[in-house]
Amino acid sequence: MDSFRIRGGNRLKGKIEISGSKNSALPILAACLMAEGKTTLKSVPRLSDIDSMNKLIGELGCHIYRHESPASADLPALDGPLDIEVTDEKNCEARYDIVKTMRASICVLGPLLAKRGKAIVSIPGGCAIGDRPVDLHVRGLQKLGAEFRTENGNIVGEVRGKLKGCRMYLGGAQGPTVLGTINVLCAAALAEGETVLVGAACEPEVVDCAEMLIKMGAKIKGHGTPEVRIEGVDRLVGIEHRIIPDRIECGTFLVAAAITNGELELKHCNLDHLVAVVDRLDEVGVKIERQNGTIFVSSSRRLNPVEMTTQPFPGFPTDLQAQLMALLCLGDGMSVITERIFPDRFLHVGELNRMGGRIRKEGPTAIIQGVKELQGASVMASDLRASAALVLAGLVAKGQTQIDRVYHIDRGYEKIEQKLAAVGADIERVKEK
């Protein structure tokens, strides 16, 4: 298992190219199971989670080909377009081996039921950020007429005849579900008649998937709002689509500039997807300016303490909670963070405290007393975003930080150490012997 070794203290300065969104690309790859003919996806990031999804849809009969793209003069090479074409529809099973490494495997459930009338998907267990049920996915698909049973740890779904559109409420106790909305949206695209999803997730990743389905021939209106209307069609066809920029990667680099008192130019991002993040960072004292698709970020030495609660879009995303916490460790006073999406998502607290942070957790809330400096330490990556927070802390900590188990970071950040090193960070990957 690889580690990162970071020597903190360098001010970051320069340009970083933001990759395509992991969380958009994953369900979009699954949705390709429904199209006839070749789909070409651009800006699919090269990540281990994408490799897992490719392996899964490969097993489900897709032929996948990745074109290579050359490196540009001053930026590391990002990856070329991906061609996907369904060549065999016999297999309908997402095996435990793949699902256990990546929960987003659940995204094949709706597309398989809609296109092949059958799906067997291993039930994803809990994960490092807490108990993550899939009941809302199943309930939504049941309302479209799919029948479910559990068998040997699998969800087995079947459709007699065709799925049928209906009006349904899709929200749960913690609010809307992102991948659940996408699963039902995909299935409804090929169902008979009209489906109305009330309480749908409004995240940009839902909108991106809906936009791609529309290009494929789907009839969808209202995506990006809590009420989405889908008029079912008979078939979807392969198209070309560019994945939206990764708003979480972009937010992570905004914090990287702020925490190192640096100046970064972030290329290919959409600040409209980060309004709540910009709002909180503005209050912290971080200066963010936009010019076309490029964001310029810089910060002053004094970081104001703030309060923040994670919420569904357009609120502050849970996927940037850990990174903001790393920054607030150096705030000039006491900050308060409340996690409303995944109340147990605080694995980074103990590790940040090992680096000199003063964070106290009370239920779903963390109280962060700002300190003058963080110190380098050996820490452990536990989940994707918690690990990103440790990288950020390492960039500013005094001395050396070693982060073990960085495979968690490789799941979601494309070439992170190369991108950071190119703007002045002292970071290296230490390969396992």
Q: Is 133 in the site for ligand EPZ (CB under 6 A)?
A: yes
CA dist 102 and 48 (Å) reads: 9
Q: Give the pair of three-digit tokens for residue 260.
A: 């190192």
245 binds ligand EPZ (CB under 6 A): no
Binding of ligand EPZ at residue 105 (CB under 6 A)?
no
Concerning whether 107 is annotated as a catalytic residue, the answer is: no
Do 293 and 269 contact (CB within 8 A), yes or no?
Answer: yes
**Binding segment (CB under 6 A) for ligand EPZ, from list 86-94, 111-119, 135-143, 271-279:** 135-143
Rounded least distance, CB 224 to ligand EPZ, Å: 15
Is 137 a residue that touches ligand EPZ (CB under 6 A)?
yes
Q: Which parts of 396-415 interact with ligand EPZ (CB under 6 A)?
A: 412
**Calpha distance 256→321 (Å, rounded):** 14
Asked whether 21 and 245 are in contact (CB, 8 A), the reply is yes
Q: Which residue among 253, 316, 342, 413 contacts ligand EPZ (CB under 6 A)?
A: 342
Figure out which of the listed residues 17, 319, 339, 417 binds ligand EPZ, where binding follows CB under 6 A. 319
Nearer to ligand EPZ, 162 or 340 (CB): 340
Q: Kindly state the smallest distance separating residue 162's Cβ from ligand EPZ, in Å.
A: 24
What token pair was written down for 196?
Answer: 């109305």
Q: Which is nearer to ligand EPZ, 209 or 297 (CB)?
A: 209
Are 215 and 186 spatial neighbours (Cβ–Cβ below 8 Å)? no
Return the residue matching tokens 């459930």. 109
Are the beta carbons of 253 and 49 closer than 8 angstroms? Answer: no
Considering only the stretches 114-122, 175-183, 207-215, 290-298, report the one whose residues sit in contact with ligand EPZ under the rule CB under 6 A. 175-183
Query: Among 9, 76, 172, 364, which residue interacts with ligand EPZ (rule: CB under 6 A)?
Result: 172
Angle at 384 between CA 382 and CA 387, to 5 degrees: 60
* First-last CA distance in the chain: 9
> Considering beta carbons, is residue 12 or 104 the nearer one to ligand EPZ?
104
**Do residues 54 and 28 lie in contact, with contact meaning Cβ atoms separated by under 8 Å?**
no
Q: Does 385 bind ligand EPZ (CB under 6 A)?
A: yes
Q: Are 190 and 31 in contact (CB under 8 A)?
A: no
* Smallest distance, ligand EPZ to C-beta of residue 159, A: 19
Choices 5-13, 61-69, 70-78, 128-136 (CB under 6 A): range interacting with ligand EPZ = 128-136
Q: Of 14 and 315, which CB lies nearer to ligand EPZ in the complex structure?
A: 315
132 touches ligand EPZ (CB under 6 A): yes
Which residue stretch of 74-82, 211-219, 277-285, 315-323 sits at the interface with ligand EPZ (rule: CB under 6 A)?
Answer: 315-323
193 contacts ligand EPZ (rule: CB under 6 A): no
Tokens of 216: 């494929």
Q: Is 174 in the site for ligand EPZ (CB under 6 A)?
A: yes
For the residues of 195-240, what is the DSSP string, one character each? EEEES----HHHHHHHHHHHHHT-EEE-BTBSEEEEE--S-EE--E
**Which of the following is catalytic: 127, 186, 250, 269?**
127
CB proximity list for 166: less than 8 A, separation 6 or greater: 143, 144, 193, 195, 196
Question: At its nearest, how many Å lie between ligand EPZ and the CB of residue 187?
Answer: 14
- The stretch among 51-59, 80-88, 171-179, 354-362 that binds ligand EPZ (CB under 6 A) is 171-179
Q: Is the peptide bond before 111 cis (omega within 30 degrees of 0)?
A: no
Is 244 a binding residue for ligand EPZ by CB under 6 A? The answer is no
Question: How far is residue 319 CA from its own chain's centroid?
Answer: 7
Per the CB < 8 A criterion, the answer to whether 35 and 237 are in contact is yes
Which amino acids are annotated catalytic? Answer: 127
Residues in contact with ligand EPZ by CB under 6 A are: 23, 26, 104, 132-137, 172, 174, 177-180, 201, 205, 317-319, 341-342, 384-385, 412
